[in-house]
Amino acid sequence: MKNAKKFQSFLDAGSFLGEDFWELLTDVLPFLGPRIDVVRNNNEVFIVAEIPGIESEKDLKLNWQGQYLIIKGEYNRPYLHDKYEIIKEERFSGPFKRKIKIPDNCIPEKMKAIYKNGLLQIVIPVGGDDQAPIKNEIPVYFVDDDLNQN
């Protein structure tokens, strides 16, 4: 747990160094937040984020701020408690945040987000105005079906 506190201090440095610094740094050090793929075609932007171990909507939040999609949440490891002594600790636990710049002309009002098998899948339609309106919290549906199924 003391490593998690040190890591959180490292993440808090974003307020000093600026958010753009962390965005560039995630290309070199992808462990700063969930690993993501962002792809697009003429109709939509599709984002997949690896976020294993999320159990409910309360542990995962999506927000739209300007041209950025913010993924925030918390990794929990319920099996860690006073009954066990940690021998090796490689998995991160605690809060995480990932800020993703979204291409122009996306339509946040029609965004869909589902969480399935440790993957957050987000579809954002393309074709709106260049100045997309702010849509604060976006619901994440915990379902068993893929977004791409008809």
Per-residue pLDDT of the chain (150 residues; tens, 9 = 90+): 455 555 566 667 666 776 666 566 555 555 567 899 999 999 999 999 999 888 888 889 999 988 899 999 988 777 766 788 888 878 777 899 999 999 888 888 899 999 999 999 999 999 866 554 555 789 999 986 555 554
Structure-token pair, residue 99? 């800020």
Domain covering 33-142, topology: Immunoglobulin-like (2.60.40)
Domain boundaries of the chain, sorted by first residue: 33-142
Q: What is the pLDDT of residue 150?
A: 47
**Three-class HEC string of 31-85:** HHCCCEEEEECCCEEEEEEECCCCCCHHHEEEEEECCEEEEEEEECCCCCCCCCC
- What is the pTM assigned to this prediction? 0.71
Residues in the chain: 150
Q: What integer pLDDT is reported at residue 20 of this predicted model?
A: 64
